[in-house]
Structure 1
Amino acid sequence: MSVIHRLSDLLVNQIAAGEVVERPASVLKEVLENAVDAGSRAIEVQLEQGGVRRIRVADDGCGIDRDDLELALERHATSKIATLDDLEHVGTMGFRGEALAAIAAVARTSITSRAAGASHAWRIDGSDRSLTPAALNQGTVVDVADLYYNTPARRKFLKTEGTEYAHCDDMFRRVALARPDIGLQLSHNGRVIHRLPPGSPATRVAALMGDDFLQHAREVSAEGGVLRLTGFASLPAYSRASRDAQFFFVNGRFVRDKLLTHAVREAYTDILHGSRHPAYVLFLELDPAGVDVNVHPAKIEVRFRESRAVHQFVYHALKRVLAESGAGRIEAEPAAAQPAAGAGFGIAANTATYPVAGGHTNTASPPPAGGRSWGAAPPQQGQLAMDSASRAYLDFAARAQTPLSGTANVAAPPLPDGDGAPPLGFALAQLHGVYILAQNRTGLVLVDMHAAHERILYEKLKTVLDGRPSVQRLLIPAVFSVGPKDMAAAEECADVLAGMGFDVGAAGPQELAVRSVPALLANAPVAELMRKLLEELREFPASEVVTARRNELLATMACHGAVRANRQLTLPEMNALLRDMEATERADQCNHGRPTWTQLTMADLDRFFMRGQ
């Protein structure tokens, strides 16, 4: 007696349904994608009880001929591919030809469709495959009821109605974001949830992600060879605790790809706290031959033929967008505009000098030829100076110092006209030793001086470490006590520390002496900084620190080297800090993803004080 036998068609389809139909959202995905592939301009989705009781999708697409309706419910029957070459150049959402058969095997399914030019519509029942005439203007209606009614063991694994509906809503959002040119509507238990007319990508993103996301996001548009990346990526200030606002599409198909996720995460590394996640809606377009979409039954994973090239393209495209400055954009906006908090900075010329912690000055590189620098005039001992382009403002600083000290009540003079005022304006005062108040042509600028200085130092340290770091010898070595583990880490990682500009050696059985530091950190609290570096060096091997974790170490160095709260700055020192911010990439966020400044326009202030009302 033979022990090997053929499975029945019904059982084969029910097994396939285990891969394709995981939950109601899986059904909605397959039917919605078919509606999109049919060339629909309007799609209506109706759900009952989270999609478990019913999923009904109606579209106005090309429809299905009577003779093809029965085939539509057969396994591996499709109109979308015919040859291997078609499979390697898939341009449609669906192509396997097994979704409808799998759905019909585990739910009460019917399809009503009217092909273009047909005299009337036809309806097919998924259970007995009977065909009957039906009434329908155009397109197709797929009705899926009582999911898993004939496989109760599978139905027990479904969650609550609210949970299943949330998955369906997320699936609807994915399709809606991918195709803003299609009008879509979603109803649940008779209540309309989403009504989305066709429109621009920005309009669709705002409708589904919220205006707040769009206001705190930057538009992405980059091309390189056959690759094109578009969409919107949030600023770090809009980061979230979960990944629920991350949508990545490849040739219009929503995917969860480790390579793409890693590229995005790397682009945010320097500006986002490790426990936070960015929000984005990104679209990658490339030749269909360059991506294999046939690697997962649910078609949610892909494989790139040139994976490294794709990774580098996405990484660099996003990194450039996130590093772009926005100060020029602020200056171009009228006073009534309302820029989002934490907007970026224009790439002004390089900066002059300003103090780091300890009261000494930190000299930056000279401005490029033909550029404008907003620093100070040649410094005298213990002073900051401004260059010639800002010299006209020295009178303003001198006059403003008097009312700020409280000895007189004199209004600040107006800003210079035309190009005379830089994007972030000029400092007015320091608030509680923490914030800098500045006036620009748009209104009031508030700067977190520690966060801003931290970003500036971090970017400079990265640049310096790429070459040979400038070292500052300490007149008196900084000696401090450490434990046995720190002593061992200092000895084992001496070469790593030397490469960063630190000369560290034993000064006793339980003491270390630091004899030199990077010039940029000449006035940092040496003992505190060194203890933190040794703590990180203890945790990871030296070789790994230098490669994968180099930027984390530099961020630690920058944080400890940045000007601290309650450090009193003079007006020229504050202005020099503003100029450095304008010349630094990603200066609108500190290394931990916090915003470094915000803008209050005159319109904001007038509205708060109800002027003109």
Structure 2
Amino acid sequence: MTIRRLPETLANRIAAGEVVERPASVVKELVENALDAGARRIEVVLERGGKDLIRVVDDGHGMSADDLALAVERHATSKLPSDDLLDIRFLGFRGEALPSIGSVARLTITSRTGGAAHASAITVENGTLDDVVPVAHPPGTRIEVRDLFSRVPARLKFLKSDRAENDAATEMVRRLAAAHPGIDFTLLLDGRALRFPAQSGDVNGLRARLADVMGRDFAGNCLEVDSAREGFALTGFAGVPTYNRATAGHQLLFVNGRPVKDRLLLGALRGAYADLVPRDRHPVVALFVHADPREVDVNVHPAKAEVRFRDPGLVRALIVSAVRGTISAGAIQPAATEAMPWSRQAQPAAARAHSPQHQSFRPHAPQPGRGFFEPQTRFDIAPSADSRAAVDVETAPADHPLGAAKAQIHDTYILSQTGDGIVLTDMHAAHERLVLESLKRRRGRPETQLMLVPEIVDLPPVEAGRVLEAAEDLASLGLLVEAFGPGAVLVRETPSALGEFDVAGLVRDIADGLAEWGSALPLQERLDRLAGTFACHHSIRAGRRLKAEEMNALLRQIEAEPLAAQCNHGRPTFVKMSREDLERLFHRR
């Protein structure tokens, strides 16, 4: 078989297959060019999902006639002044976008620099170039892409419906708009307009832009992230754990202003929110990684959607510690909007973000002394005649964030009164979180209790083997296990913090968990999941009656734990209703 050179037109179409996947890919390349050109206003127009027309108009610095002729040649770019692929400071740099688009569509570029007497235009139709001609046009650039893939029917048939292509293009503009809040974006889809007005360049401007992009509720349910480590910086906003979504589509991640969907960053995000959100839910974030361009390789993906870091461990650690630390140091926020749909209907989104049930409080620093869940204060005292009866409000001041306990409802929920409303607390879910955080703090130096009679737990041989392989991890949490013949393990010591519990049930649950995730998880996440399994076996069970002082003790310790707004599985532990909510419920307002 003879080797031959491919025709230029075919080579361009092959290159286009990497760069131009669908209309949204064209939008991305053209908008990034406008941003690199210093545009302050960008308008994007699509007709029939971009199949008939994609137009991008900007007010950037424009191109001269000579530059215009070079712009449609492959590997011609103004964005690598030092020819150093390790020092990329623009969104585009390969010089492939325009010639690739021109090889599969009719591409017309009209541009004018600020001091030029007139504009210039060039047309490329499915790989065929026309001459540059003078035209009238204001300073800036206008690019029109018509009949995308009309000469490549095999590619055209893979495009989705007009609506689906419009949605993909909208998502691309949303992400670019979030990354550049100081730019005015307008998107016109078959006559329908979507606009993101320019915002200020400070953190308030970014918050306002993210509210436009991600919804008004995000501004009232996020915490500012600002951290740095060894040349890397992380800024942006992380949603509170109780504000989560069914998919990961509301996770916006950027590296040096470039929107990415990088597996390393997504994995770090999962680690940061581990045991804070349910496993089938996803946090809402907008995070920006800033680094020296030499520390990041953006040339590892044709569409530049993924990046490679020189020190990936450092980046992952930065994201996990910064987000987790922000959530811990930030305010605990009750999940009233999720739990009470009538409250959502009663208030507009903008009002809800500042309403009393959304006002959060900053927890007190946890005290290392005796805890609600420790052996010295276990619930082994007789309950009052009926803990569900009303409790004297004087037993605890109502000015505490979670108020004073008034009653226990259905032997499951604590009803407390605050200065401006009421709070319902799920005592099992809250106590589960408190136990988990206690186990985490003692990891590696646990307090254990020796069992008078060691317990033998029978398991299938495979499951027993998994438990024994994890013996070192379990010992770091206070559970000492050893082999006891084939298909059995012997438990000699248990964590003191757990008190009396079903040891065999815990070991079987550990075996089930190890079968599900085993050694595939990083050590830290594996230990956290094991600790969560321990916590589930000791927490106060629904149906247990508590005395007034016990309920108030639980409320005070919830206030002292920064992550106590959600249990280990991500469910809310308490919800708050303001007096205004109650009055509205009974039509007093």
Shorter-normalised TM-score: what interval?
0.7 to 0.9
Other-structure match for 2:186: 185
CA distance in 2 between partners of 1:143 and 1:491 (Å): 65
Q: Secondary structure at the match of 1:281?
A: strand
Q: How does 1:23-102 map to 2 (within 5 A)?
A: 23-85=22-84, 87-102=85-100
Other-structure match for 2:580: 603
CA distance in 2 between partners of 1:594 and 1:114 (Å): 56
Other-structure match for 2:338: none
Other-structure match for 2:566: 589
Structure 1 residue 495: Cα displacement = 6.4
Distance 1:117 1:580, change over 3 A: same
The answer to whether residue 315 in structure 2 is matched with residue 310 in structure 1 is yes
Q: How does 1:203-352 map to 2 (within 5 A)?
A: 203-326=208-331, 338=355, 345-350=362-367
CA distance in 2 between partners of 1:542 and 1:39 (Å): 49
Structure 1 residue 510: Cα displacement = 9.4
1:425 to 403, 406, 418: 403
**Quick one: which amino acid aligns to residue 104 of structure 2?**
V
CA distance in 2 between partners of 1:230 and 1:185 (Å): 26
Q: Secondary structure at the match of 1:130?
A: coil
Distance 1:180 1:488, change over 3 A: closer
Distance 1:202 1:497, change over 3 A: closer
Other-structure match for 2:339: none
CA distance in 2 between partners of 1:296 and 1:466 (Å): 42
Structure 1 residue 567: Cα displacement = 0.7
Tell which deviates more after alignment, 585-594 or 190-199. 190-199
Q: How does 1:122-521 map to 2 (within 5 A)?
A: 122-127=120-125, 128-199=129-200, 200-326=205-331, 338=355, 345-350=362-367, 362-363=375-376, 382=381, 405=389, 412=393, 421-467=399-445, 469-474=446-451, 500-502=477-479, 516-521=493-498
Q: Secondary structure at the match of 1:231?
A: strand
CA distance in 1 between partners of 2:156 and 2:231 (Å): 45
Structure 1 residue 493: Cα displacement = 6.4
Structure 1 residue 494: Cα displacement = 6.3
Confirm or deny: 8 A CA contact 1:426 1:440 kept in the other structure: yes
Deviations 1:138-187 (A, max 9, x none): 21110000001122222122222122112111111111111110000111
Confirm or deny: 8 A CA contact 2:221 2:353 kept in the other structure: no
Tell which deviates more after alignment, 58-67 or 7-16. 7-16
Confirm or deny: 8 A CA contact 2:276 2:568 kept in the other structure: yes
CA distance in 2 between partners of 1:493 and 1:198 (Å): 52
**Quick one: which amino acid aligns to residue 192 of structure 1?**
A
Confirm or deny: 8 A CA contact 1:350 1:580 kept in the other structure: no
**Quick one: which amino acid aligns to residue 228 of structure 1?**
A
CA distance in 2 between partners of 1:565 and 1:454 (Å): 12
CA distance in 2 between partners of 1:352 and 1:428 (Å): 26
CA distance in 2 between partners of 1:79 and 1:509 (Å): 70
Deviations 1:238-280 (A, max 9, x none): 2233221111101100112222222111111131233322221
Distance 1:303 1:516, change over 3 A: closer
CA distance in 2 between partners of 1:176 and 1:549 (Å): 37
Deviations 1:43-102 (A, max 9, x none): 1111011111110011111111122211111111112223333x3222111111111011
Confirm or deny: 8 A CA contact 1:415 1:440 kept in the other structure: no
Confirm or deny: 8 A CA contact 2:40 2:60 kept in the other structure: yes
Distance 1:487 1:545, change over 3 A: farther
How many residues are paired up? Answer: 566
CA distance in 1 between partners of 2:231 and 2:24 (Å): 33
CA distance in 1 between partners of 2:487 and 2:212 (Å): 62
**Quick one: which amino acid aligns to residue 48 of structure 1?**
E
Give the percent of matched residue pairs that are identical in Structure 1 and Structure 2.
43
Distance 1:538 1:44, change over 3 A: closer
Structure 1 residue 122: Cα displacement = 2.0
Q: Secondary structure at the match of 2:265?
A: helix
Confirm or deny: 8 A CA contact 1:218 1:322 kept in the other structure: yes
CA RMSD of aligned residues (A): 3.5
Q: How does 1:531-550 map to 2 (within 5 A)?
A: 531-537=508-514, 549-550=526-527
Other-structure match for 2:343: none
Structure 1 residue 449: Cα displacement = 0.8
Other-structure match for 2:547: 570
The answer to whether residue 110 in structure 2 is matched with residue 112 in structure 1 is yes
Distance 1:566 1:286, change over 3 A: same
Distance 1:141 1:564, change over 3 A: same
Q: Secondary structure at the match of 2:235?
A: strand
Distance 1:104 1:605, change over 3 A: same
Distance 1:321 1:363, change over 3 A: farther
Q: Secondary structure at the match of 2:542?
A: coil
**Quick one: which amino acid aligns to residue 587 of structure 1?**
A
Structure 1 residue 594: Cα displacement = 0.8
CA distance in 2 between partners of 1:503 and 1:76 (Å): 63
**Quick one: which amino acid aligns to residue 322 of structure 1?**
I
Confirm or deny: 8 A CA contact 1:353 1:576 kept in the other structure: no
CA distance in 2 between partners of 1:155 and 1:564 (Å): 59
Other-structure match for 2:342: none
Q: Secondary structure at the match of 1:84?
A: coil
Deviations 1:355-392 (A, max 9, x none): 66xxxx6348xxxxxxxxxxxxxx999489xxxxxxxx
Structure 1 residue 215: Cα displacement = 2.5
Confirm or deny: 8 A CA contact 2:331 2:360 kept in the other structure: yes
Distance 1:504 1:213, change over 3 A: same
CA distance in 2 between partners of 1:220 and 1:237 (Å): 17
Confirm or deny: 8 A CA contact 1:328 1:346 kept in the other structure: no
Q: Secondary structure at the match of 1:427?
A: strand
Structure 1 residue 405: Cα displacement = 2.8
Tell which deviates more after alignment, 20-29 or 121-130. 121-130
Confirm or deny: 8 A CA contact 1:45 1:185 kept in the other structure: yes
Confirm or deny: 8 A CA contact 2:237 2:285 kept in the other structure: yes
Confirm or deny: 8 A CA contact 1:109 1:126 kept in the other structure: yes
**Quick one: which amino acid aligns to residue 560 of structure 1?**
H
CA distance in 2 between partners of 1:448 and 1:319 (Å): 23
Q: Secondary structure at the match of 2:234?
A: strand
Confirm or deny: 8 A CA contact 1:483 1:510 kept in the other structure: yes
**TM-score if structure 2 supplies the norm length?**
0.86
Structure 2 gap segments, 5+ residues each: 336-351
Distance 1:492 1:284, change over 3 A: closer
